[in-house]
Amino acid sequence: MSASYTGQKSYYGDGMAQNIARRRRHGRVWHILFYAATTISILALIVLLLNIFNAVFGFVLIEDEVPPTELAPGGDLESLSQGELISLLEEYLSVGLIRRFNFEEPLAERSVTDLAALVQVRIVNPTVIEAWSLQESLFQSDMIRAEHAAHPGTRVQFRSWLSARFLVSPQNPRPQLAGIRTAFFGSLWMIIIVIVVAFPIGVAAAIYLEEYARSEIWYNRIIEVNIYNLAGIPSIIFGLLGLAVFVRALEPFTSGTVFGGVDPTTANGRTIISAGLTLSLLILPIIIINSREAIKAVPSSLRESSYGLGATKWQTIWHHVLPASFDRILTGTILAISRAIGETAPLVVVGASTFITVDPKTLFSKFTTLPIQIYQWSARPQSQFRNVAAAAIVVLLVLMLSMNAVAIIMRNRISKQRRI
Amino acid sequence: MDTKLAMHTKNLNFFYGDFQALFDVSLDFGANEVTALIGPSGCGKSTLLRCLNRMNDLIPETRSEGEIYFRDQPIHGQEVDPVEVRRQVGMVFQKPNPFPKTIYENIAWGARINGYRGDMDELVETSLKKCALWDEVKEKLKQNALGLSGGQQQRLCIARTIAVEPDVILMDEPTSALDPISTAKIEDLITELRKRYTIIIVTHNMQQAGRVSEKTAFFLNGVIIEAGLTSDIFFNPKEERTEAYISGRFG
């Protein structure tokens, strides 16, 4: 094989087979490296999820103030009649408290289920005095049994910290009663404000920069560079900006006092609208950059065919460029909004409430959001709040994943209409 | 001058930044004639074509000097709107580029944005018939145009161009992406459309220029080397370089 089949001298030499083997070996090393990188990321993800779910489920040690077995046969409160439940309440609770319940809704008009729940919370009053992780619950039953024996009068129960009650209850200083409701609505309001503010402004700015602005002019280039830089600025700085501008300077507007309907003596700028506007500013550069990339990706042949028919610039943009880039614009926007949902630092600066139990009702309400709530719970001294925080993390993840899913479904539907 | 002029250029120079792509191009395009622009790649023939409907305005950092007339009206004047120029001087591109919409919408869109007031169904039908596409697509007008074959897509692009009633149709290598059968169909179509429209076609295919055009202009490095009747250019070229190019000795 020293010469090629034509009989001429070849510069590729004799070792063709060795050469190929060496090249393949080289490729295999890289293949393994890429594979390892993927495996590491997937493992990290699995560890993260396991860690969360480990804290969401597990056995808890509960101490009842009054065991339910003392109140009802077999401890089944719902088997009692309405009258029996009311007399239990009157027997154990103060007159003032009974009067307050009657004021909220007369006890005689409440259903057995409601009354039983009231008895459960007010009289039985179970307290979680110890919580174990899923791993401990599964593999260290001896320890749990010993702990149970050390606390007479307690019971061990398997508890999912993530429950329907957790979703609909507001914040509570006792871990087993704490819920995510207020924070969930806070996050929801925030998303809506961010979508309404940042999406149209971001897309409009992207259209201007991509279609109208002439990049050879110096100030357009400065704007361009600055937008890229803004996208990389730490979020806490946006928080400080929001504090200075929305909370302080624009306080009459963000507190709602100029619009009336709020008490001017207690109103301040630390409201949901300030937070929403701050987060909108935070993700605006990201939306602009993503939308610009989407618009840039529209093939010039599509624009040319539109112009060639006598379309104006606006007709070309509206009828062809935007429909062709809308799926990518949407994906970019949803990713940006997902980032906004997870932001904590700027909201701390803008003044999210750490303990609040009323749902946000207007743009000028005090608020908290899921990440703020998670942060606050995990900083509490009682260890059971770790479990509560883990359950809230699951809610946050589900919220994000479902938003991403909506984006993917919408994108696929749009692109399907445009292709065959 | 025996024929009426549809368009003509006078001492046209064109620049991409510092690079000059056209040098003193003066060329007449007779009404209802097919004029072929030939020459090797990068010789400026596509640039000239895109000047004729001010498509080059869309490319930043370009400028032109000299005059282009459409029926004796300058198209580069301050008061001339390029949008109006492009409606009267339509364009068909090298790669078929129908809109990612239905076949019907591909024809109707251009007419609608230009304020067409007539019966849209009728316009779609007549435009497709003029391009010999009606029988092939009449059952699937509501389907996406991207589902058509390349040749059908190109004929659809021509149909969409004539639906806005231009006077001149510019064609930038309209068959270079097509197979021989589709090419033959487009060439037949050009011969047919000549009766109504002025056609200016850029082509790399000498046989095509010979088959479809009456006039030919040969370009080299942004300069017109020779222009005249196609038969003269092909059979009695005055210039050595024209003959060399046409006979395939370079380019």
Q: What is the mean pLDDT of residues A48-52?
A: 93
- What pLDDT digit, counting tens, does each position of A400-414 carry? 999 889 888 888 888
B229 shares contact with chain A (CB less than 8 Å): no
Cα-based distances in Å from B9 to B4, B17, B48, B243: 14, 21, 9, 25
Inter-chain residue contact A310 with B100, CB threshold 8 Å: no
List the structure tokens of A205: 């700015």
Q: Is the pLDDT of residue A4 over 80?
A: no
Inter-chain residue contact B109 with A309, CB threshold 8 Å: yes
Judge if A122 and A218 occupy the same domain: no
The proportion of chain B whose per-residue pLDDT surpasses 70, expressed as a percent, equals 98
Q: What's the CA gap between B132 and B129, in Å, rounded? A: 5
- Å between B34 CA and nearest CA of chain A: 19
DSSP B197: S
> Which positions in chain A touch B95 (Cβ < 8 Å)?
301
pLDDT band at A203 (very low <50, low <70, confident <90, very high): very high
Judge if A163 and A268 occupy the same domain: no
CATH superfamily of B5-94+167-246: P-loop containing nucleotide triphosphate hydrolases (3.40.50.300)
Inter-chain residue contact A301 with B61, CB threshold 8 Å: no
Host domain of residue A104: 58-169
B160 shares contact with chain A (CB less than 8 Å): yes
- The residue among B52, B58, B94 with the most chain A CBs within 10 A of its CB, best to mutate, is B58
Q: What's the CA gap between A341 and A371, in Å, rounded? A: 8
- What pLDDT digit, counting tens, does each position of A342-357 carry? 898 999 998 887 777 7
> Which positions in chain B touch A306 (Cβ < 8 Å)?
99
Q: Is the pLDDT of residue B2 over 60?
A: no
A306 shares contact with chain B (CB less than 8 Å): yes
A160 found inside a domain: yes
Judge if A266 and A131 occupy the same domain: no
pLDDT band at A318 (very low <50, low <70, confident <90, very high): very high
A415 shares contact with chain B (CB less than 8 Å): no
DSSP three-state, residue A336 = helix
CATH number of the domain that residue A252 is part of: 1.10.3720.10
Judge if A271 and A413 occupy the same domain: yes
Q: What is the mean pLDDT of residues B20-42?
A: 92
A414 shares contact with chain B (CB less than 8 Å): no
Order across the sheet with A154-160: list the strands: A127-131, A57-63, A154-160
Q: Is the pLDDT of residue B251 over 60?
A: no
The average confidence (pLDDT) of chain B is: 90
Window 173-192 of B: residues touching A by CB (8 A cutoff) are none
A220 found inside a domain: yes
Count of structural domains, chain A: 2
Q: Where are the domains of chain B?
A: 5-94+167-246
Catalogue the E-assigned strands of A39-171: 57-63, 127-131, 154-160
Judge if A315 and A364 occupy the same domain: yes
Supply the ipTM of this predicted assembly: 0.91
Cα-based distances in Å from A94 to A70, A88, A345: 19, 12, 44
Judge if A187 and A63 occupy the same domain: no
- pLDDT for A70 equals 81
- What pLDDT digit, counting tens, does each position of B70-85 carry? 988 899 877 889 999 9
- pLDDT for B93 equals 93
Nearest to A310 among B60, B61, B164 (CB): B164
Nearest to A312 among B83, B110, B161 (CB): B83
CA dihedral of B68, B73, B77, B80, whole degrees rounded to 10:
-120
Bridge partner residues of B170 (DSSP): B91, B200
List the structure tokens of A207: 């259209």
- pLDDT for A298 equals 93
Among A169, A196, A222, the domain-final residue is: A169
Q: What is the mean pLDDT of residues A38-53?
A: 95
Q: Is the pLDDT of residue A253 over 90?
A: no
Q: Is the pLDDT of residue A260 over 60?
A: yes
Q: Report which listed range, A87-91, A173-177, A184-188, is most confident.
A: A184-188
Among A136, A169, A202, the domain-final residue is: A169
Burial-class residue B250 by CB neighbours within 10 Å (0-12, 13-18, 19+).
exposed
> Which positions in chain B touch A213 (Cβ < 8 Å)?
none
Inter-chain residue contact B99 with A305, CB threshold 8 Å: yes
The proportion of chain A whose per-residue pLDDT surpasses 90, expressed as a percent, equals 39
Q: Is the pLDDT of residue A262 over 80?
A: no
Catalogue the E-assigned strands of A81-142: 127-131
Judge if A294 and A195 occupy the same domain: yes
Among A124, A145, A169, the domain-final residue is: A169
Chain B residue with the nearest C-alpha to that of A310:
B87
Judge if A294 and A397 occupy the same domain: yes
* H-assigned helices in B63-194: 82-88, 103-113, 120-130, 134-137, 150-162, 180-193
Q: Is the pLDDT of residue B234 over 60?
A: yes
A412 shares contact with chain B (CB less than 8 Å): no
A307 shares contact with chain B (CB less than 8 Å): yes
A322 shares contact with chain B (CB less than 8 Å): no
- The residue among A301, A309, A321, A420 with the most chain B CBs within 10 A of its CB, best to mutate, is A309
Nearest to B144 among A302, A307, A420 (CB): A420
- pLDDT for A294 equals 94
Window 241-280 of A: residues touching B by CB (8 A cutoff) are none
pLDDT band at B98 (very low <50, low <70, confident <90, very high): very high
Judge if A262 and A332 occupy the same domain: yes
A32 found inside a domain: no
- Å between B168 CA and nearest CA of chain A: 12
Count the Cβ atoms, other than its own, within 10 Å of residue B225: 19
A352 found inside a domain: yes
> Which positions in chain B touch A307 (Cβ < 8 Å)?
55, 58, 86
- pLDDT for A6 equals 67
A14 found inside a domain: no
- What pLDDT digit, counting tens, does each position of A368-380 carry? 899 999 998 988 8
Q: Is the pLDDT of residue B1 over 50?
A: no
Q: Which amino acid appears at position B212 of this protein?
A: V
List the structure tokens of A348: 């701390």
Strand pairing class (B168-172; B198-202):
parallel
Judge if A211 and A66 occupy the same domain: no
Burial-class residue B108 by CB neighbours within 10 Å (0-12, 13-18, 19+).
buried
Q: Is the pLDDT of residue A151 over 70?
A: yes
- pLDDT for B139 equals 92
Judge if A340 and A249 occupy the same domain: yes
- The residue among A396, A383, A378, A374 whose CA lies nearest residue A58 is A383
Query: Half-sphere exposure of residue A107, counting CA atoms within 13 Å on the CB side?
Result: 21
- What pLDDT digit, counting tens, does each position of B180-227 carry? 999 999 999 999 999 899 999 999 888 899 999 999 999 999 999 999
> Range with the lowest mean pLDDT among A62-76, A359-373, B82-96, B115-129?
A62-76
A159 found inside a domain: yes
Burial-class residue A35 by CB neighbours within 10 Å (0-12, 13-18, 19+).
exposed
Q: What's the CA gap between B148 and A146, in Å, rounded? A: 76
Cα-based distances in Å from B112 to A95, A418, B157: 78, 20, 16
Judge if A375 and A240 occupy the same domain: yes
A26 found inside a domain: no
